[in-house]
Structure 1
Amino acid sequence: MEQFIYYLKVSFVSIKRAPLPYALTIFILSVGLGIFFANATFYYQLNSDPLPHKSSKLFFPMMLLAPYECTDCKPPAVLSYSNIEKLSQSDIPSAKTAMYSADGYLRKNAEQTPMPVNIRITQRDFFSMFDVPLLHGSVWPDNSARLEIILSKATAEKLFGRTDAVGEKLLLDDRHLTVTAVLDDWQMLPRLYDANNRNHLSPADDIYLPLETGYDMNYLSNTQSQTFDDTDYRKLSTQGRTGALNQLQYWVQLDTPTAQQAYKQFMANLAQDEKVAGRHPSEPNNQLVAMRNIVNYFGGESSDIKAFALVTLLFLLVCLFNASHLSLNRYLGNQYEFSLRRALGASRGQLQLQMLADVLLMAVFTIAGALLTGYAGIKLMNHLLPRNSLFSSWDLPLLLSLLAVAFICSYLVTLYPSLRASFGTLNQQLKE
């Protein structure tokens, strides 16, 4: 340890001898790494797996259950209520849920000004399938219609100034509902359970309503709906359950490869039965999309982030090249000192330790500058791409990875000078 402290002192002396080239090296590295940090943050968060222990078991089944003839058509991204009923007849999934989102206005009583809320209209398995944590209360015991509502933690605090709101009465679009549960802090990033139309970039919903109640209250989807007949979307409580009005997304949990294969066969049999019955004349085109592939399936991957990733990587390489060139110039200025140490008996290993001490100092200064630059870059990208602002946080694995990248880059910058100092011809170095 004492020897390493000595190496650090020698590095400080070297810095004082030529502070400007050293500062310029740090600046170039900090800018390159900072911009890389900013883009890497978004890229990492957007491509992360929010449920790594379960995502391989969650699937999005889609079928071409539409009353028209089509060749080579993709299945509709949303299904009708009657389609969901047919897909739900199988007991193969260990959990299953249908859902959609809608807009509404919520308030405590008729005297209060209503506030706009985003409603997730879904079924009880939604909370267990996507690991939604509860802070107070409990989820609905079944999927029947009930005048009950589940609040997010932020919504409960906004309405009541507290989180324990179980049993409270609320008005949702002038309909009286009872709060049965309040969620804990929860935000799936990315929100893969609703990836259609790039909704995976959106924040979590404000409130949660039973699916049957949503239909009874005539809530239409605020993201995507389409009809293939004369169903009146204003009469969801009646026509919406029997007509070809598509607005529902459907998820199933299939825990084993055997279950996955069995459910594919169930979908094939269902499609064939529907075709024979004449309800869906097109050739079957069933899709069972894994959760990790859902964004790509819907074409929702951000080309902007990919383009930024490539540009910032190239920019980082340019910065590394320039910083390495400056570091080499510093070495040439101190070459006689290294040569003299070799002549006095310093081993190549000792010279490498001296270089590592220099790398450590450079990494500390570079990391500080890169974090500041990265933070500024994230703020700028949030301004340019507001929908991606949810994905601008640093978690521990990401931060450790970024620090490791900064250290590796600092080492690469001094690698060539280190090799020149350790393995160059001593006589030639002393002459220079």
Structure 2
Amino acid sequence: MFGYYVDLALRSLRRNKVLTALMVLAIALGIGASMTTLTVLHVLSGDPLPGRSSALYAPQVDPRDMGNYQPHGEPPDRVTWIDGMNLLQAKRANRQALMTGGSVAIQPAQSALNPFYESARYITADFFPMFGVPFQYGHAWGVPEDAASAAVVVISSKLNDKLFGGRDSSGRMLRVEGHALRIIGVLGDWRPNPHFYDLNLKSYGADEGIYLPLSTSQDLHLAHLGGADCWGNGGDGATPSHTAPCVWLQFWVQLNTPAQADAYRQFLIHYSQEQQSLGRFPRSPNVRLRNLMQWLDYEQVVPGDVQLQNWLALGFLLVCLVNTVGLMLAKFLRRSVELGVRRALGASRRALFMQLLVESAVIGLAGGLGGLLLAYLGLWLVRQQPANYAPLAHLDGAMLMMTLVLAVVASLLAGALPAWRACQITPARQLRSH
């Protein structure tokens, strides 16, 4: 029976080509616009580390003075060097990583390459296992290398391709800011977006090419980027010292169970009380412990203009559907004689309703295919924008299926009222009038 309804739908659509084209175009425009913005929103608000994010947390404590104090206000989203090292050495989490970012000069050994700057990440050893960073060659360093400020470095696969043609460079030497560092590992494919672990430098885009121990970066006086928030006599925060009253480091912990998260939250409160008794924390204990996805929401990573565009596109889809309702109503009512004859021959209202809904679904599927092409065009236009998230705007398999499903569901909703109205035709009246 379904195949018969599809055949009737195709015959009907061919008889009214102009009206059919208008309905398909209306749905295609609405679906194309809405799926373009929904895809961008989906990419930007996605989970950067599926399967791990629920166990990763960003601890926050409040070491600031009483200037601009507001009760129950949010603590800083970074930590001081003293607090970062205290929390790191306390080892109250399954894993913990203290880090910051910078930019360093690379002096290639190959004469064909000129020196260049590369984004760098200064981290502690747990960064790699905690975030599940894959390796193409070699391995990461461990806690002993952190303690010894070892002259070691891990590089990205992209930088390895540029410097060594993609070959295993483990054991080779790399000159960074004039210092010789030994390459011990090359990363595999690892590009989490958003750039959750340091949103002060960038939210989206390319990741770092150089990873080296935080302690090594301090001994070598490597440049720190991302600024710092200082108070009192902390200065401008451009190059904070270890004792300066400035927050400038990111700190992440891994807590595998809710019970461990609750215990760590209590630890942060006790730590703040201890620091208050020592005179370091003038304010009452004020802590937060958000997991990765909660952290992204708190930091409002998704740009406001993307959310606005999404609502505008959904509004445009609604307008298109209203227009489609009108076109379908006109089309179905023009077929009142045909429907009246079918009723007189014994077809039930339910059968006619299903026939018209199948016709609506065929229109929706055609509109969905057109909307898919428009969505590809829209995403191509997004990728031409200068925004740092633009290169991520691609339609994946899930969003492709969602496009077609949304088009069919939207057309069914648009066709439900016209189909119901058309099914209320009284057969005898239509047959007498014709």
Scaled by the length of structure 2, the TM-score of the pair is: 0.90
C-alpha distance in 2, partners of 1:406/1:4? 19
Match of 2:178 in 1: 174
C-alpha distance in 2, partners of 1:252/1:130? 10
Match of 1:316 in 2: 317
- Secondary structure at the residue paired with 1:116? strand
Match of 1:150 in 2: 154
Post-superposition CA distance 1:112-153 (Å, at most 9, x none): 302321111112211222222222211112233222221222
Displacement after TM superposition at 1:232 (Å):
10
Post-superposition CA distance 1:17-45 (Å, at most 9, x none): 11011101111110111000011011122
Post-superposition CA distance 1:265-311 (Å, at most 9, x none): 22222212222222232332222222212233334442111211211
C-alpha distance in 1, partners of 2:66/2:207? 35
- Name stretches of at least 5 consecutive residues in structure 2 with no aligned partner: none
Residue range with higher mean Cα deviation, 144-153 or 390-399: 390-399
Q: Residue type of the partner of 1:263?
A: Y
C-alpha distance in 2, partners of 1:369/1:378? 14
Match of 2:416 in 1: 415
CA contact (8 A) 1:98 1:248 kept: yes
Match of 1:202 in 2: 205
After superposition, residues 30-429 of structure 1 pair within 5 angstroms as 30-66=28-64, 71-72=69-70, 74-109=74-109, 111=111, 112-142=113-143, 143-144=146-147, 145-196=149-200, 199-228=202-231, 229=233, 240-384=241-385, 386-429=387-430
- Secondary structure at the residue paired with 2:109? coil
**Structure 1 residues 428 and 121, CA gap change in structure 2 (3 angstroms):** farther
After superposition, residues 7-26 of structure 1 pair within 5 angstroms as 7-26=5-24
Displacement after TM superposition at 1:417 (Å):
2.6
- Secondary structure at the residue paired with 2:399? helix
CA contact (8 A) 2:24 2:367 kept: yes
Percent identical among aligned pairs is 29
C-alpha distance in 2, partners of 1:24/1:385? 35
CA contact (8 A) 1:70 1:282 kept: no
C-alpha distance in 2, partners of 1:227/1:217? 23
Q: Residue type of the partner of 2:7?
A: K
**Structure 1 residues 128 and 427, CA gap change in structure 2 (3 angstroms):** farther
Displacement after TM superposition at 1:68 (Å):
5.8
Kindly tell me the number of residue pairs found equivalent between the two proteins. 426
Q: Which structure has the highest helix share of the two? A: 1
Task: Give the RMSD, CA atoms, in angstroms.
Answer: 2.5
CA contact (8 A) 1:150 1:209 kept: yes
Q: Residue type of the partner of 2:287?
A: N
Residue range with higher mean Cα deviation, 176-185 or 162-171: 162-171
**Structure 1 residues 116 and 425, CA gap change in structure 2 (3 angstroms):** farther
Scaled by the length of structure 1, the TM-score of the pair is: 0.90
C-alpha distance in 2, partners of 1:71/1:195? 24
C-alpha distance in 1, partners of 2:156/2:394? 21
Q: Residue type of the partner of 1:172?
A: V
**Structure 1 residues 344 and 427, CA gap change in structure 2 (3 angstroms):** same
CA contact (8 A) 1:220 1:233 kept: no
C-alpha distance in 1, partners of 2:330/2:234? 77
Q: Residue type of the partner of 1:7?
A: Y
C-alpha distance in 2, partners of 1:195/1:232? 20
CA contact (8 A) 1:70 1:283 kept: no
- Name stretches of at least 5 consecutive residues in structure 1 with no aligned partner: none
Q: Residue type of the partner of 1:313?
A: L
C-alpha distance in 2, partners of 1:355/1:35? 26
- Secondary structure at the residue paired with 1:176? strand
Q: Residue type of the partner of 1:93?
A: A
C-alpha distance in 2, partners of 1:332/1:82? 76
CA contact (8 A) 1:218 1:235 kept: no
- Secondary structure at the residue paired with 1:310? helix
Displacement after TM superposition at 1:231 (Å):
7.8
Q: Residue type of the partner of 1:17?
A: R
CA contact (8 A) 2:27 2:368 kept: no
Displacement after TM superposition at 1:401 (Å):
2.2
